[in-house]
Amino acid sequence: MKHNWRNALINPETSLQEAIHVIDKAALQIALVIDDLGKLAGVVTDGDIRRALIRGLPLDHAVAEVMNAHPKVVSVNDSKTKMCAIMEAHTLIHLPVLDADGKVVRLETLQGLYKQPHFQNPVFLMAGGFGTRLRPLTDTCPKPLLEIGGKPILETIIENFVSSGFRNFYIAVHYLADQIKDYFGDGQRWGVQINYVEEREPLGTAGALGLLPSDLPDFPMIVMNGDILTQIDFPRLLDYHNERQGVATLCVRQYEYQIPYGVVSIDAQRITGIVEKPIQSCFSNAGVYVLNQALVKTIAKQQQIDMPLFLNQQIEAGELVSMFPVHEYWLDIGREADFLRAQGEFSKYF
């Protein structure tokens, strides 16, 4: 049975009596105490309440004086491996997950982290690019096989999917394709099935989908660039896609940049304001998608098309393309600076 952690939210003024009711109803053995801004103020368990009652506190007493105001927490960027290690080290069965502002985004449980689901959804990894911005590193080695943390980028990607319960992989190859095929083989080493889609010429970030077999199971497909390191929760991404009931879901990252000059606002020839070096914010494409099988089948064989154009066509046709904000760790290994950054960050997140 899947429990909704939001049912376990209470505020510091909640009485012990009501906290008992919330803990019982949410069936998670814990209540998360949040302030008016949604930030975690503390946690309270049935054990905390029992100890309070033993001390003689009345049931109408507020949980603020009973809760653990300094619980163990993790960031949305932390890996499942790190979460499990923290839980085991401190004998915990719950772990609140917070964003950069200290707001609760979910509650991990030890059972949930160790439970191994199995998804029939195919995963399509695009690994055929030339990696020109990483030359000379890619002169004799395809970018997906460049090693970060002692293993190829693509191996880390596949292992992340495997740990989430995915077993059916398709890899699009072109540049130095034999090296990728020789390294991963049929996937037996990882307990999965790997098939290859060979592009005779580059078909763009969506075109290679047209080379897939026509008899794939009717489950949404996750499509991902083969040069991205991320801790995206793929099962949660699938749940989101299914809930939205669109034809596609695009993962996005919030990107902020600072304009290095004062920006002038005008009305006709009159200046209405000056803002010095403002910070602009937008959503950028994270290179991870979920596509319905019916949509994948509309791509013709040998059709050259990039994913942004393909999705724009669906939007113009009135189809629903949803966006899934990515708060977890994400890094596109596009340039040498990204490659070096990933080397330094790998042990922290993977």
Helix or strand holding residue 344 (H, E): helix 336-349
Q: Are residues 143 and 82 in the same domain?
A: no
Contact 225, 287 (CB under 8 A): yes
What is the domain extent for residue 57? 5-114
Q: Which of 25, 39, 151, 277 is catalytic?
A: 277
Q: What is the CA radius of gyration of the chain?
A: 24
Provide the pLDDT for residue 114. 67
Q: Are residues 109 and 188 in the same domain?
A: no
> What's 9's domain CATH number?
3.10.580.10
Provide the pLDDT for residue 37. 87
**Distance of alpha carbon 325 from alpha carbon 331, whole angstroms:** 14
Q: Are residues 136 and 92 in the same domain?
A: no
Q: Are residues 155 and 230 in the same domain?
A: yes
Q: Is 8 helix (H, G, I), strand (E, B) or coil?
A: helix
pLDDT beneath 50: ranges in the chain = 1
> What's 174's domain CATH number?
3.90.550.10
Residue 277 annotated to the active site: yes
DSSP 13-47: T-BHHHHHHHHHHHTSSEEEEE-TTSBEEEEEEHH
Provide the pLDDT for residue 115. 65
Residue (of 277, 244, 275, 250) closest to 261 by Cα position: 277
Provide the pLDDT for residue 255. 76
- Counting the structural domains of the chain, the total is 2
Provide the pLDDT for residue 182. 92
**Distance of alpha carbon 94 from alpha carbon 76, whole angstroms:** 15
State which of 66, 82, 114 marks the end of a domain.
114
Q: Are residues 142 and 163 in the same domain?
A: yes
State which of 79, 114, 149 marks the end of a domain.
114
**Distance of alpha carbon 339 from alpha carbon 324, whole angstroms:** 25
Question: Considering the chain, what percentage of its residues have pLDDT values greater than 90?
Answer: 27
> What residues contact residue 240 under an 8 Å CB cut-off, 6+ apart?
249, 322, 324
Provide the pLDDT for residue 1. 42
Q: Are residues 53 and 93 in the same domain?
A: yes
Residue 151: count of CB within 10 angstroms of its CB: 13
**Distance of alpha carbon 11 from alpha carbon 98, whole angstroms:** 17
